[in-house]
Amino acid sequence: MQHLSSELAGIVERFGEPRIVVLGDLMLDEYIYGDAERLSPEAPVAVVQERHRQHRCGGAGNVAVFLAALGAKVDLIGVCGQDDQGQLLRTILRDAGVEVSHMLAIGGRPTCTKTRLVGLAQHRHPQQMLRLDREDLSPIGPEHEKILREHLRQCLAGSAALCIEDYNKGLLSQSLCPAAIDMARELGVPILVDPAAVADYSRYRRASVITPNRTEAELATGLRMEALPLGAAELARELYARLELDACVITLDKHGMYLLDGPESGTLHPTRPRTVYDVTGAGDMVLAMLAMAISAGATWSQAVDLGNVAGGLEVERFGCVPLRRKEVMAELLPTEATEEKVRSLAALSVELGLLRAAGKRIVFTNGVFDILHAGHVRYLQFARSHGDVLVVGVNSDASVRRLKGNGRPVNPLMDRMAVLAALACVDFVVDFGSDTPLELVRAVAPDVLVKGEDYADKEVVGRDLVEARGGAVILAPFLAGHSTTAILEKLAR
C-alpha cells in the first residue's frame, strides 16, 4: 500500500498546468445559513434565524473550480441567464481562476440556481433543511448550439482533456454532445463524461470514459446490480461495449469504484472508510481528478485510485469545497504531513477560512508544551473532541522565558511544535510571541476555546471574543499527577 501511495504521489507531482476544457450544465449554489433553535407556532417546522449567505458554483462550474484548484488552466463552456445570478456565477468562476469568456448568456433563460437552507442548532454540524430550485430545462436551441460549437473548436486545440458534465438541463443535446466528442476524438483529446441520470446514453458514444454511479448505470442499462464485484462488472461491460468506450468507471460510494478498461480487464478499486459528512460535489471531484491524472500520463487504474482519494476527501466536507494538491499529497503520504500542520498565522488564516466555509467547527487552545506528557495528550484529545479542527497556539521561547524564568523552555520552539504536530488529534500548530494568546484568539476566531480546569476561578483570555461570536469556553479536566514541573523536579533529584 505504501508503494502504491508513493506511486500516486509521483503522479500528483507531475500534474503541472494542463489546459482542460469543461463543457456542461452550469449552476449557482446558494447556501443560507442560520440558527434553528425553535419550532414555528404557525406550523410544525423549524424557524431559522438567518446569519449569512454563501454562493458557490455547481455542475460543470464546480468541476472547473476543482480543476483550477488542482492547477489546471480551465476553459469553461456552457450557458447561463442574463440575470444577477449569471453575473455572480461568472464572478465566482473568474475569481477561482477559470476562463469564462466562452460562457454564453441567454436572455429570458434563468441561470440554474439551487438555494439550500442550512440550519445549525446548539453548535452542532450544519444540516441542510430545504432546497429550492430555479431552472429552465428546455433545449437551448440551434443558434446558441452553433455558437458553443465554435467555442469548442477554439478551445479543444492544444487541450489535454475534455470533461463533459451532464445534468440534463437542456445543454447537452443529442447533437451537441456527439459533436463535442467527435471534435475531441479528431484531435486526440481524451473525453471524460459524468453522465446524466437518463436511460439513453447514446449521446456519449465514443467517449474515452464515463463515470456513472450505480443507480445511473442501472437506469442506462436496464440491469440490476445484485452483488459486488460481479454485478458492477456486468453493468460496466454493457456500457463499455454499447458505447464503444476506452474505459468505464462505475462509482460505488463506500465500496469505491469499478474500472473496466478492456473487454476482460475489470477490477474493483476499494476505498478506505470515511466519515461521510456531505456527498455534494464528490462526483465532480472524481471527474476532475481523473482528468488531471490522465493529463499527467496516469493509467486508468492509477487515475481511479486517485479519484477514490479525492472523492473520499470531498465527502468529509460540507458543500463543494475544492481540494488542493497538498491535501491530496498529505493523504497519500501521511508520514510527511506533520510539517504541513505547522503554519504561519497568515497561512493558517486562509486555511481556517476554507474550513469555516465548509461548516467545520474550530477549536483553539494554547500552552507552552515544553515536555509533552500523558496529561498534555489527554488534554489535547479532550479539546479535539469538541470540534472538527484543533488549532494549538504555542508560546515562543522568549515568551516562555518571561513566564517561566531562565532555564525554560527545555525544548526549543520548533521541537515543541514538531512533537505537537505528530499527534493525530492536533490539526494545526502556530506560535505566538506575546505573554497572552489574545491576538491569536482574535485571529483564529474559534468556535470553542479550551483551557484547563485550573481556570475555573481565573480570567480566560479571549473568552469575551469567543462568546461574542456565539462560541463556547470549555474547561478540560487535568490528569492527576502529571505536569512538566513535576517531571523536571524528578529529573533534578
Nearest to 460 by CA among 472, 476, 479, 473: 473
Three-state DSSP class for residue 474: strand
Rg (CA), the chain: 26
- DSSP string of 252-311? -GGG-EEEE-STT-EEEE-------S--TTHHHHHHHHHHHHHHTT--HHHHHHHHHHHH
Q: What is the spatial distance between Cα 215 and Cα 160, in angstroms, rounded to a whole number?
A: 30
388 as an active site residue: the answer is no
Q: What is the spatial distance between Cα 461 and Cα 417, in angstroms, rounded to a whole number?
A: 21
Find out whether 257 and 308 touch, Cβ atoms under 8 Å: yes
Residue of 284, 370, 431, 447 marked catalytic: 284
Q: What is the spatial distance between Cα 220 and Cα 202, in angstroms, rounded to a whole number?
A: 10
The DSSP call for residue 342 is B
Find out whether 250 and 257 touch, Cβ atoms under 8 Å: yes
Q: C-alpha cell of 35? A: 440558527
Largest CA distance in the chain: 89
Nearest to 325 by CA among 301, 362, 296, 359: 296
Active site residues: 284
